[in-house]
Structure 1
Amino acid sequence: MLLQTQVRHLKGIGEKRAEQFAALGVNDIDALFHFFPRKYEDLSNIVPIISTIVGTDACVKARVTSPVRAWKSKKGTPVYKTTVADDTDVLDIVIFNNKYAAAKLKVGEEFLFFGRINSFGNRKEMLSPSIEDPKTSERIRPIYRTTGNMSSKHIARYMEQALSQYGCGIKETLPSDIMQKYQLMPITNAYFQIHFPTDFDEMLKARNRFIFEELFQLQLGMKLFRGTSKEATDKCAKTDYSEEFISKLPFEPTGAQKRAIAEATKDIMSGQVMARLLQGDVGSGKTMVAAALMYTMAKNGFQSAIMAPTEILARQHFETIAKFFKGKKIEIILLTGGMSVAEKKLALSKIKEGTAKIAIGTHALFYDSVEFKNLGLVITDEQHRFGVRQRGALSAKGKGVHVLVMSATPIPRTLALTFYGDLDVSVIDELPKGRIPIETYRIDSTIRERAYNYIKKFLDEGRQGYIVCPLVEEGEMDNVLSATEYYNDISKGAFKNYKVGLVHGQMKPDEKAEVMERFAFGEIQLLVATVVIEVGVDVPNAVIMLIENAERFGLSTLHQLRGRVGRGKYKSTCILLSDVNTEKTQARLKVLCDTTDGFKISEKDLQMRGPGDFFGSKQHGLPDLKLADLLEDIDVFTNAGEAASIILKRDPDLSKPENAVLKDSVERLFARVESS
């Protein structure tokens, strides 16, 4: 029970610090140990200034050669600048809003400087670097996600104290034969090496152990908690009505859509429970496929339920599917948490009586109060945003219910087959006829003004657009504007004559929904946003997107973001803005400029991301794992799946005493995934 001790019992943590840790999701010692570094500063690898590369991080040992100069930016932020040198070259050091750091830089004294190398004119510079005494700091240092005035150094000190004080309470979660077979580092040593590595080899071994453990526990949980299996069912459609449905559509479906309908229809007529993943790129027409299946189920006397991750997406599905079913005498009901009591009561009554053949909603669909008369098909949209238990809870509303999982996240087919091992896979790999491909260009900030004018041209024509900013954590990369700062700047500056809106992940759900609805209704012309719009509403009038600091996003995320435009009849454009000119960044962004095929992009992403790249953003749209990356760590995933099968074969429900710690860990992982 030592690891359940609250962090406030650590020396130096009072009420305010405890609240800051809680904001980071850390309440007890166990959560603190699992609060892994987001990256490391390698102060042991000192690079001559002349050998540093613009756009990459580096550690240089250099002496201060000029007095610190101070001034204030246009916004009033204190700025400090000096020049340092080693035996090979000079480097400008620029510090923002940190008088203490600037004050210790005395001419002639030597320091370690760690940070991103940038260029300004023909000189190299480092913005807001870490500054350390070379006599005590030549080591690998963990960098943690921060909040408020609690710095990464503060967290490292508390971590060191916790490992020393509570390390004896760490219990091994993996069976000894599994550890031996896959050569995994013991858990106590792994905690020490991932937080305070003696060298990168040891850190990699520790990291690999936790990646294996996370993927091992994930697959154990999926096998224990998932709500689908290839079992016999009486929810069997006797007659296929998909051709009747298609014949009444005002357009001709693509060959891929027809193939997906045929594959899924065969499942629901087979007498066995369907468990199928429907993958389709953004705008490929997955909703029409779902509608065809629900039509066949309704005509055979069964109800269907489709669950979306947000209320605004649920409403969009409702409106889209209602159009498909216009004049077909099949009642469709919407059920969301935001409806009035009277509206909910009516919806629940119609679902229970069976008069509503199709129910569309959010998490509200699997509340205990929701009773279906004859549920036959459950469809989850963007399933990765629901927990495995939630998927099971909805399908459990009826015995032998068919399940279709729809995902717009481009995953290589081999990976989809591995990750969704319990699901058959259908792929929609064609876009509807007449869809105009999105043109994508890469620029740098020297022509930002031209890009702004280009956006204004579309806004003046009555169209709408997005500007996407990277999620910038407090204290990270001070030279990158956050979405809020960016919004304040352009709404009072370059776009002061236009209606500009702002949406980001820190807003309350109803606030986000309100902004997105205003944008959808055309009340907002230009929306400044973070990746919160990656899965968003269709706005056919949105035709232009500018993505700031595009190098900070994964390829799959960039593709998902780009999919927010080009959903109507107008030609659409996506502009990727990046000042990072490394070969890797140029190659990555070129992929986006060369193709709009999400599956080709995901395959390329898988090829380009090599092992050991621990500092990039995680791919979005997959389970929220702390360390594991299901594209990068596919080999580990496969081994972990094999190990999970070994364990479950000898202990199917993890009820044996020797697996008590393991079962508890699995429970906690799924609780964490589903609460995120």
Structure 2
Amino acid sequence: MNSKTDTPIRFLKGVGEKRGLLYGKLGIFTIEDLIHYYPRTYIDFSQPQAIASAPYDKPCAIVATVVAKTGEQRIRKGLSLFKVTVTDGVSDMIITFFNAKYTVDALKPDTEYLFYGKVAGRLTRREMSAPMVMVYDESQTFLSIYPLTAGLSSKLIQTNVTQALELIQDSIADPIPSDLRRRYELCHSTFALCNIHQPASDHALEIARKRLIFEELLVLNLAMSFLRTGSKTETGTKMGDISLKHFYNTLPYTPTNAQARVIAECTSDLCKDVPMNRLIQGDVGSGKTLVGAACAYFAVQNGYQTAMMVPTEILAEQHYRTLTALLSPVGIRLGLLTGSLTAAQKRNVKAALANGEIDFIVGTHALIQDNVSFHNLGLVITDEQHRFGVAQRLTLSHKGSNPHVLVMSATPIPRTLALIIYGDLDVSIIDELPKGRQPIKTYVIDLPKRHRAYGFMKKLLDAGQQGYIVCPLVEQGETDLGLESATEYAHKLAKQDFKGYSVGLLHGKMKPAEKDKVMRSFAEGKTQLLVSTTVIEVGVDVPGATVMLIENAERFGLSQLHQLRGRIGRGSKESFCILVSDSDTERLSVIKNTLDGFKISEEDLKLRGPGDFFGSRQHGLPQLKIADMLTDIKLLRLAQDAAAELLAGDPALSQPAHILLRGQVQNMIKNASI
């Protein structure tokens, strides 16, 4: 950056205070922000069409002069139209403008104009309605179209961008060193910025896009690497190989072949000189918790403590109960640390942890507080880890001497996204469900069929089974009066359709003690039907639950729907998921037709992009301005290679040629909170 690029946008000629506020709505506050606010698409004017041969089915550009204008015709109050006849010298065309007196008055008969829109009418009478109009300039072959806010047009943004580039282009310094640009065939940043906004040709645009995409992915990879620095140095917790026979003998079931394979991969890592950094991916219900328990047993037998960090208290409590059942028979002492414990309870847990009286601690973000210390931390496990930033995970690791790290996720992540999030992790996949599990049958229904679905659910409840009804919101009118409210809905169901049945309610605004009471009642079979928000998305395991109805299913991402569906089908009985929606049924058919979480995640990424894939920016990745991790996979791999090469020669990016790049990396870490 330099002093010119740091200039507030309001000081750019023609912007001022008022437009500066509008730019602020787009996240543009400085000239630097403006020149990196890239067009979302382009209109190509390079090959104007003749009026007679213009296509009917798609917008096109026509160069013509004005022959005649009609006066204003008032259609109704607030709507008037104007008709203008134009010619290209061979054929004529009638153009209709609506409420555009200023535009029509400005058209001069001796000037060539470019009209862009869809041509209609007959071969002998061609027409166009409400086209984009500009004075024809043979040198301008593209019009850049930007994401907009009210009060700013693409034309205005392009004008301001042109001014900004003219102001600073003599002083643009390229953050990518020249030798790296040559090796990866990248243009200079000045050429890239000029041609991303005002392409000289298709080829120039392609060159500019390649350069800017590569740069963005390079900075992202460097930022992630900076946060992981030190993870591959020698571990202070190298373990000795011990037998898991005693652990396996106490289990109430036999692990699947996939579980046994992944456990063996993990214990092999635990015996190495460098810390384990392994990701375990498995669909909902595949048994990742058992793998974590086996690794914890292995660590404890080697004299080390284990910590498991999870994103919510309800999930921490679920894991604590499950792990206690698995590990207490082999003498492992477990503890639970969450924010809702009393001050005295927290003091006791922390003291026991520091003294080595707790072998395995399960907790939320409370584990990374400064006053939490370990006697001998050797293994860190994070579950549903995309909900933590990398920095949070590293904070927990720093409480030990380079401990081993095991990452678990029930959210299948597309390989393209995993390349960034887990660039330095080995990956294990549990691709087998425990025996006895039956596939979940999924149906998509419209609102009129809802009561028929209720009847089906009641038959299952009468047979001693349990069910969920999931709603997107907590209180009526929270954001949209058209959506079902979990609170109101639960009361209505208990009084009407499910009168006489035990109906519970669970939502995120409840206190932890209240949630625990509700879930305990459901887990013990005292509650037959649980009405819930997405707080049950992860962790709640009730084998008796065999049916789930999801209201307003179109409001959820596909991966989230798959996670919710995973709360049923945990036992041996046939299970059913019913998606209620009057819209978006084509997208929902993806859920209906497959139980493969990885296929669903690929579709979800295509539909929503990485920025929204996990919802509410939970994945800890910054918003990318131009790169697309689904389509730019080749450049992503090249950028990873370049990042590794740079860091191998200059780990801190402290050499003069790398200072600008280092600044970009630090800005990304600061702005994205990764």
TM-score, scaled relative to structure 2: 0.70
Q: Shift of residue 195 of structure 1?
A: 5.7
Residue of structure 2 in register with 1:118 after alignment: none
Are 2:383 and 1:381 aligned? yes
Residue of structure 1 in register with 2:133 after alignment: 135
Secondary structure of residue in 1 paired with 2:174: coil
* Amino acid corresponding to residue 240 of structure 1 in structure 2: I
Q: Given that residues 9 and 20 in structure 2 are in contact (C-alpha distance below 8 angstroms), is that contact kept between their aligned partners in structure 1?
A: no
Residue segments in structure 1 that go unaligned for 5+ positions in a row: 53-57, 71-79, 85-100, 115-130, 470-480, 504-508
- 1:222-261 to structure 2, matched below 5 A, reads 222-227=224-229, 229-238=231-240, 240=242, 242-261=244-263
Give percent identity, aligned residues only.
Answer: 36
* Amino acid corresponding to residue 637 of structure 1 in structure 2: L
Q: Shift of residue 404 of structure 1?
A: 0.9
Structure 2 CA distance, aligned partners of 1:404 and 1:450? Answer: 45
Residue of structure 1 in register with 2:221 after alignment: 219
Structure 1 CA distance, aligned partners of 2:101 and 2:390? Answer: 54
Secondary structure of residue in 2 paired with 1:153: coil
Secondary structure of residue in 2 paired with 1:277: strand
Are residues 500 and 238 of structure 1, via their aligned partners in 2, closer, same or farther at CA, if it must alter by over 3 Å?
A: closer
Are residues 203 and 362 of structure 1, via their aligned partners in 2, closer, same or farther at CA, if it must alter by over 3 Å?
A: farther
User: Out of 426, 429, 432, which is 1:427 matched to?
Assistant: 429
Structure 1 CA distance, aligned partners of 2:275 and 2:515? Answer: 37
* Amino acid corresponding to residue 335 of structure 1 in structure 2: L
Q: Given that residues 194 and 207 in structure 1 are in contact (C-alpha distance below 8 angstroms), is that contact kept between their aligned partners in structure 2?
A: yes
Which deviates further from its counterpart, 487-496 or 296-305?
487-496
Are 2:577 and 1:545 aligned? no
Are residues 488 and 386 of structure 1, via their aligned partners in 2, closer, same or farther at CA, if it must alter by over 3 Å?
A: closer
Deviations 1:247-281 (A, max 9, x none): 22223221111111111112213444222121111
Secondary structure of residue in 1 paired with 2:550: strand
* Amino acid corresponding to residue 132 of structure 2 in structure 1: P
Q: Given that residues 235 and 275 in structure 2 are in contact (C-alpha distance below 8 angstroms), is that contact kept between their aligned partners in structure 1?
A: yes
Secondary structure of residue in 1 paired with 2:381: strand
Are residues 237 and 183 of structure 1, via their aligned partners in 2, closer, same or farther at CA, if it must alter by over 3 Å?
A: closer
* Amino acid corresponding to residue 543 of structure 1 in structure 2: M
Q: Given that residues 412 and 602 in structure 1 are in contact (C-alpha distance below 8 angstroms), is that contact kept between their aligned partners in structure 2?
A: yes
Residue segments in structure 2 that go unaligned for 5+ positions in a row: 63-71, 84-96, 106-114, 119-128, 137-141, 495-502
Are residues 492 and 374 of structure 1, via their aligned partners in 2, closer, same or farther at CA, if it must alter by over 3 Å?
A: closer
User: Out of 249, 270, 286, which is 1:284 matched to?
Assistant: 286
Q: Shift of residue 302 of structure 1?
A: 0.7
Q: Please give the root-mean-square deviation of Cα atoms over the aligned residues, in Å.
A: 5.2
Q: Shift of residue 289 of structure 1?
A: 0.8
Question: Would you say how many aligned residue pairs link Structure 1 and Structure 2?
Answer: 587
* Amino acid corresponding to residue 319 of structure 2 in structure 1: H
Q: Shift of residue 490 of structure 1?
A: 9.7
Secondary structure of residue in 1 paired with 2:438: coil
Are residues 649 and 295 of structure 1, via their aligned partners in 2, closer, same or farther at CA, if it must alter by over 3 Å?
A: closer
* Amino acid corresponding to residue 563 of structure 1 in structure 2: G
Q: Shift of residue 594 of structure 1?
A: 3.4
Are 2:599 and 1:623 aligned? no
Secondary structure of residue in 2 paired with 1:135: strand
Residue of structure 2 in register with 1:465 after alignment: 469
Structure 1 CA distance, aligned partners of 2:257 and 2:366? Answer: 35
Q: Shift of residue 561 of structure 1?
A: 5.1
User: Out of 314, 332, 346, which is 2:334 matched to?
Assistant: 332
Deviations 1:83-135 (A, max 9, x none): x9xxxxxxxxxxxxxxxx997799x99x9889xxxxxxxxxxxxxxxx96532
Q: Given that residues 214 and 625 in structure 1 are in contact (C-alpha distance below 8 angstroms), is that contact kept between their aligned partners in structure 2?
A: no
Are residues 24 and 424 of structure 1, via their aligned partners in 2, closer, same or farther at CA, if it must alter by over 3 Å?
A: same
Q: Shift of residue 454 of structure 1?
A: 1.8
Residue of structure 1 in register with 2:566 after alignment: 563
Are 2:636 and 1:637 aligned? yes
Q: Given that residues 554 and 588 in structure 2 are in contact (C-alpha distance below 8 angstroms), is that contact kept between their aligned partners in structure 1?
A: no
Secondary structure of residue in 2 paired with 1:543: strand
Residue of structure 1 in register with 2:666 after alignment: 667
* Amino acid corresponding to residue 652 of structure 1 in structure 2: P
Residue of structure 1 in register with 2:89 after alignment: none
Residue of structure 1 in register with 2:654 after alignment: 655
Are residues 133 and 417 of structure 1, via their aligned partners in 2, closer, same or farther at CA, if it must alter by over 3 Å?
A: closer
Structure 2 CA distance, aligned partners of 1:372 and 1:408? Answer: 28
Q: Shift of residue 193 of structure 1?
A: 5.0
Q: Given that residues 468 and 528 in structure 1 are in contact (C-alpha distance below 8 angstroms), is that contact kept between their aligned partners in structure 2?
A: yes
Residue of structure 1 in register with 2:347 after alignment: 345
Deviations 1:598-638 (A, max 9, x none): 245557889xx6xxx99897544583441444343221111
Q: Shift of residue 406 of structure 1?
A: 1.4
Q: Shift of residue 566 of structure 1?
A: 3.8
Q: Given that residues 455 and 465 in structure 1 are in contact (C-alpha distance below 8 angstroms), is that contact kept between their aligned partners in structure 2?
A: no
Secondary structure of residue in 2 paired with 1:250: coil
Q: Given that residues 276 and 424 in structure 1 are in contact (C-alpha distance below 8 angstroms), is that contact kept between their aligned partners in structure 2?
A: yes
Structure 1 CA distance, aligned partners of 2:76 and 2:202? Answer: 35
Q: Given that residues 483 and 528 in structure 1 are in contact (C-alpha distance below 8 angstroms), is that contact kept between their aligned partners in structure 2?
A: no
Are residues 270 and 365 of structure 1, via their aligned partners in 2, closer, same or farther at CA, if it must alter by over 3 Å?
A: same
Q: Given that residues 249 and 324 in structure 1 are in contact (C-alpha distance below 8 angstroms), is that contact kept between their aligned partners in structure 2?
A: yes
Structure 2 CA distance, aligned partners of 1:160 and 1:501? Answer: 55
Deviations 1:527-556 (A, max 9, x none): 566xx9765755764623356448x95x65
Structure 2 CA distance, aligned partners of 1:516 and 1:113? Answer: 57
Q: Shift of residue 660 of structure 1?
A: 0.6
Residue of structure 2 in register with 1:73 after alignment: none
- 1:565-644 to structure 2, matched below 5 A, reads 565-567=568-570, 571-575=575-579, 592-601=591-600, 619-620=613-614, 623-626=621-624, 627-644=626-643
Are residues 59 and 359 of structure 1, via their aligned partners in 2, closer, same or farther at CA, if it must alter by over 3 Å?
A: farther
Structure 2 CA distance, aligned partners of 1:417 and 1:69? Answer: 58
Q: Radius of gyration: which is bigger?
A: 2
Are residues 325 and 483 of structure 1, via their aligned partners in 2, closer, same or farther at CA, if it must alter by over 3 Å?
A: farther
Q: Shift of residue 464 of structure 1?
A: 1.6
User: Out of 239, 252, 262, which is 2:264 matched to?
Assistant: 262
Structure 1 CA distance, aligned partners of 2:514 and 2:195? Answer: 45
Are residues 604 and 14 of structure 1, via their aligned partners in 2, closer, same or farther at CA, if it must alter by over 3 Å?
A: closer
Secondary structure of residue in 1 paired with 2:482: helix
Structure 2 CA distance, aligned partners of 1:409 and 1:294? Answer: 22
Structure 1 CA distance, aligned partners of 2:323 and 2:143? Answer: 55
Residue of structure 1 in register with 2:480 after alignment: 484
Q: Given that residues 181 and 187 in structure 2 are in contact (C-alpha distance below 8 angstroms), is that contact kept between their aligned partners in structure 1?
A: yes
Structure 1 CA distance, aligned partners of 2:491 and 2:204? Answer: 51
Structure 2 CA distance, aligned partners of 1:263 and 1:403? Answer: 13
Structure 2 CA distance, aligned partners of 1:49 and 1:579? Answer: 33
Q: Given that residues 40 and 143 in structure 1 are in contact (C-alpha distance below 8 angstroms), is that contact kept between their aligned partners in structure 2?
A: yes
Q: Shift of residue 375 of structure 1?
A: 0.6
